[in-house]
Amino acid sequence: MKIFKKKQTINYEGRLLDLSTPVAMGILNVTPDSFYAQSRVSGEKEIITRAENIISEGGTIIDVGAYSSRPDAANITAEEEYRRLKPAISLIKKHFPETFISVDTFRSDIVQQLYAEFGCFIVNDISSGEIDKRMISSVGKLGLPYIAMHMRGIPATMQNEQNCVYNNIVTDIISYFVDKKKELAEAGVTDVIIDPGFGFGKTLSGNYELLAGTDAFRILEQPILVGISRKSMFYKLLDTVPEKSLPATIAGNMVALQKGADILRVHDVKEACDTIKIYTEIQKFSK
């Protein structure tokens, strides 16, 4: 049986992001309408405090987002997205210069503007270049690390019935990424992280089928990011709300780690890091 060996480092402007042990990515939302209200920050003081908390609680990456991708979120212009992102990136770069930053955007113009002003960051693209066809070539030319996420449609249409139907959700998405890896390689994108896209064009049961099959993504031999923090796959199943779904998120993150996740994208960094620590200790005694 072939053993698939995943890439364990990401080149971040000459520094290596080590993923030989799983890490937590802390979410910093500069949006007024993110689905989880407690993740939203605005103003210099709140941004610095949130970034400081992510780092002090053990987070390795700060993921900054300015465009809410929940299904009923308002569309905003690229100018407004950049206006929200710029001060947040500036503050993090100034106060926490050694921290790895990712920017949650699907717009190549945003990537180019931020890179020209602030230098390296990880591009976290929910559409894998499907919305903005210039994204992948832009990332390749700039030599940036790239998170490719699976989504069908756009945020406004991703939960339409036709976008949530698969022959086999795991093998269909793996097939998608096989082709996407070729496209990325041809564009010169060498540091790629795979995100199966929980909640983006998937039914509630489809999300659980995907989580159960996450270990199959090892065949792609790239680091795997899992972002399930406080999502509807938990709070709808349990008939609760995002604010009360932390225990479910912790349980889901442990399963994700057991299935091969290298990065946990989370709102609750300390709890994710504790989960990683427990998982890592268990692994010492696993055959």
Q: Which amino acid is at 51?
A: A
Phi, psi angle pair for 212, to nearest 5°: -65, -30
Cα(45)–Cα(139) distance, integer angstroms: 31
Is-catalytic flag, 70?
no
Q: Which of the following is catalytic: 50, 152, 231, 259?
A: 231
- Strand arrangement of the beta sheet that strand 225-226 belongs to: 192-195, 146-149, 122-125, 100-104, 61-65, 23-29, 263-266, 225-226
Cα(106)–Cα(67) distance, integer angstroms: 9
CA distance readout (Å), 35 to 40, 76, 267 = 9, 16, 12
Q: Which of the following is catalytic: 265, 270, 277, 284?
A: 265
The residues that bridge with 119 in the sheet, in sequence order, are none
Is-catalytic flag, 265?
yes
Active site residues: 231, 265
